[in-house]
């Protein structure tokens, strides 16, 4: 099995997970969990999103969170849905902006209440603003592997948006399997097409586990040389009241698998397990992540 020597994990739980919690997770809780993630050696965190507090009340403390995190040796990214969000994120000191557009019109309208063209038109201003402050922008593409409204998504639609991002200067492109519709063969096909079209930019995969395939998708991506992945502590994300229904890949499970296979992540397995257990304790309910329940392989460490 031909595997890369190193993988770069982007921890997205503080954004993709916290945004969908049904009970308010305090700023202190958020900061404690982010600090635990940081102390485990994670160097890229999607820390929050600067969105309307009415749309996503869970993240109304985005600026306080960004002000409270440890900064040394870590990139704190902020998702921004529009110019107003970008301005706030930059003012709050985000190290990186993440913009998102869906690969289908139906999902983009459901997600940000406007069409793809309107989302694309907003990009120039965001990229200009970010460039002025020397802050890199990452372009995310939602429902890149399939759409709950439309079903299959032509890869041309995905690459039209990727092209727009890269023309404007995006440093990386995230292909997101927002509702867990990817399978390994779709992953290797889309990765291959991306690699043929764009040799330079970073490709990041973002897998949800709605259909139980996310870890297999990550393995498939590894075998074709993809080394950047979004994961979320404890497997949070999606609806918290449907156990395991739609979370992200659990960071600690991914670290466990990669470490066992000799792939370097720079993340300390026992510390990231501790962070996941802290998150579960603060939330007060069981999360989908598995390694935090079973422990690592070593019987002594597991005890």
| CA pair distance 89, 214, nearest whole angstrom | 30
Q: Which stretch binds its own copies (CB under 8 A): 29-37, 75-83, 165-173, 174-182?
A: 174-182
Please count the residues of the chain: 303
**Residue from 181, 276, 278, 279 in contact with its own copies (CB under 8 A):** 181
**Residue from 148, 164, 169, 202 in contact with its own copies (CB under 8 A):** 148
Catalytic residue among 239, 242, 261, 302: 239
Annotated catalytic, 239?
yes
Applying CB under 8 A, does 85 fall inside the site for its own copies? no
Residue with tokens 């501790």: 274
| CA pair distance 140, 78, nearest whole angstrom | 12
Cβ closest to its own copies, residue 130 vs residue 218? 218
Cβ-Cβ contacts under 8 Å for 202 (sequence gap 6 or more): 171, 172, 173, 228
| 3-state DSSP of 37-57 | HHHCCCCEEEEEECCCCCCCH
Q: Which stretch binds its own copies (CB under 8 A): 34-42, 49-57, 72-80, 254-262?
A: 254-262
**Residue from 34, 130, 213, 278 in contact with its own copies (CB under 8 A):** 213
**Residue from 39, 245, 268, 274 in contact with its own copies (CB under 8 A):** 245
Applying CB under 8 A, does 212 fall inside the site for its own copies? yes
Q: Which stretch binds its own copies (CB under 8 A): 60-68, 94-102, 121-129, 282-290?
A: 282-290
Give the interface size with its own copies as a residue count (CB under 8 A): 53
CA torsion, points 112, 64, 11, 75, in degrees to nearest 10? 110
**Residue from 57, 242, 266, 270 in contact with its own copies (CB under 8 A):** 242
| CA pair distance 218, 7, nearest whole angstrom | 11
| CA pair distance 287, 239, nearest whole angstrom | 11
Q: What letter does residue 210 receive in the DSSP assignment?
A: T
Specify the 3-state DSSP secondary structure of 204.
strand
The residues that touch its own copies, with contacts defined as CB under 8 A, are 1, 3, 146-152, 179-181, 183-186, 188, 209-216, 218-220, 223, 235, 242-246, 250, 253, 256-257, 260-262, 286, 288-291, 293-294, 297-299, 302
What amino acid positions are annotated as catalytic residues? 239
């Amino acid at each position: 099995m031909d595997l890369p020597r190193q993988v770069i994990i982007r921890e997205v739980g503080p954004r993709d997970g916290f945004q969908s919690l049904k009970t308010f997770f305090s700023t202190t809780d958020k900061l404690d969990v982010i600090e635990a993630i940081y102390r485990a050696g994670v160097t890229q965190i999607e820390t929050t999103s600067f969105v309307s507090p009415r749309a996503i009340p869970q993240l109304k403390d985005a600026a306080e969170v960004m002000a409270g995190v440890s900064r040394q040796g870590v990139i704190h990214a902020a998702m921004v849905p529009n110019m107003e969000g970008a301005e706030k994120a930059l003012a709050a000191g985000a190290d990186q902006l993440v913009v998102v557009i869906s690969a289908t019109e139906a999902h983009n309208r459901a997600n940000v209440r406007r069409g793809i063209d309107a989302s694309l038109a907003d990009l120039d201003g965001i990229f200009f603003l970010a460039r002025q402050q020397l802050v890199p922008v990452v372009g995310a593409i939602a429902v890149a592997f399939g759409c709950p409204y439309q079903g299959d998504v032509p890869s041309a639609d995905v690459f039209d948006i990727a092209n727009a991002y890269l023309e404007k200067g995006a440093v990386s492109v995230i292909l997101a399997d927002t509702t867990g519709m990817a399978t390994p063969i779709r992953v290797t096909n889309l990765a291959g097409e991306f690699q043929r079209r764009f040799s330079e930019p970073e490709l990041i995969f973002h897998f949800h586990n709605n259909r139980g395939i996310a870890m297999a998708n990550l393995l498939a991506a590894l075998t074709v040389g993809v080394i950047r992945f979004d994961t979320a502590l404890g497997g949070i994300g999606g609806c918290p009241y449907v156990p395991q229904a739609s979370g992200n890949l659990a960071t600690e499970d991914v670290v466990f698998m990669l470490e066992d296979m000799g792939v370097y992540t720079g993340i300390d397995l026992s510390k990231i397990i501790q962070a996941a257990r802290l998150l579960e304790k603060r939330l007060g309910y069981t999360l989908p992540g598995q390694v935090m329940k079973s422990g690592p392989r070593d019987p002594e460490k597991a005890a």
